[in-house]
Amino acid sequence: MRFSSTVAVGALAAGASAAENYLGFNSGATLPDRSAKFKKDFAAEMTTAQKLQGAPGTFNAVRLYTNIQAYSQDDPIEAFEAAIDTQTKLLLGIWTSGTDTIDKEISALNKAVKKYGSKFTDLVIGMSIGSEDLYRNSATGVANKAGVGNQPDAIVKFINDYKKAFKDSPLSKVPIGHVDTWDVWPNATNKAVIDAVDWIGVDEYPYYENAKGNSIKNAPALFDKAYDAAIAAAGGKPVWLTETGWPATGPNWDEAVPSVENARYYWANIGCRRLFNKTPTFWYTLRDSNPDNEAKFAITKDLSPEPLFNLTCPTTFDVATTTSSSSGSPTPTGNSTSGSGSGSGNNSGNSSGGSNSGSSGGTTTSGSGSSGSTTKPATASGTNAATSLQVSFAGAALVAGVYALL
């Protein structure tokens, strides 16, 4: 009874004002070999997502980290054409980390509006101004070498720049949000961002919650506490789940063990129980695209519509809340999972699934070393910056090119 009421309240707070509870995946701007994705690559992902066998609904939405085609200056990303052809809804992203301007992102988006008109704008369900910038710029992000982020006042400025640029465009009606790690939102220093947006996006990975009892059986408890904390901080604004997942292969992360069986357990006991058809949800991920991340989160092999595990939602759930003897309370405090390059997008902006702006799976590294915080691999930006980010991943130095690798 206690659990049921928690889910009901959480679902209401997270999704009540959403026009539709979208189902989708993260998608970066590059492939696993760091080459650019083009229209056919995005279309292949979108087609597979819509045909997934046993899915608890149609996955006909996609989250992007940038509007810029990989390795170009301000050409519209070819995912737009693929979305038009496949009628896939678009959660767009503007990359804002390590920059003082979003002019090129705005230019690419303006070109797309002029070229495709309502065939494009009618598919846009949301606009995220930034991805995990606040986490990267936090004390935890800096300690974890998560890369260059940005301050709350800069994010608010970018939101205003975007609104000014598109005030006379059909995109002016699109709800604006910002995506970050769950622990960013309860931090009072970031309240200005919450005040400036229509919705907040949450990236949360219990897999990376080391020193907190992050076994698969405890993942629901870790997720719920983090997700509920973000909902409480949102002040009634919709909360979209923008990155989460569990790897099928890869290294053990403290008590977290990657396996197909555990990925299925996570899908059922977090996705089915708490997210799918309750709030807009963007899973990490359909296809792995970040070569620097040893943990592989893809739920398909070679984009087959036959998934690695049964996607059918169960009628009952395992909501174990026990913690390991070494971890103490499962309540996530302090550090949290972050990033978007590890398990979620492609290298474009997400590492918690992570993501750095436009690549193939995520671009930020998050994580925390040993003090119970989570650590994520880095994601690249996707906006063709010619620099690279040094990321510490499980003690090893990883270099994620700033070209969006999501």
Question: Which is the catalytic residue, given 45, 243, 255, 294?
Answer: 243
Catalytic, out of 81, 105, 132, 255 = 132
User: Could you confirm whether 78 is annotated as catalytic?
Assistant: no
CB atoms within 10 A of CB 261: 12
Residue bearing tokens 């977290």: 256
Q: What is the C-alpha separation between 106 and 96, in angstroms, rounded?
A: 12
Cβ 105 vs Cβ 67: under 8 Å: yes
Cis peptide before 321 (omega within 30 of 0): no
Beta bridge partners of 199: 177
Q: 261 an active-site residue?
A: no
Catalytic residue list: 132, 243
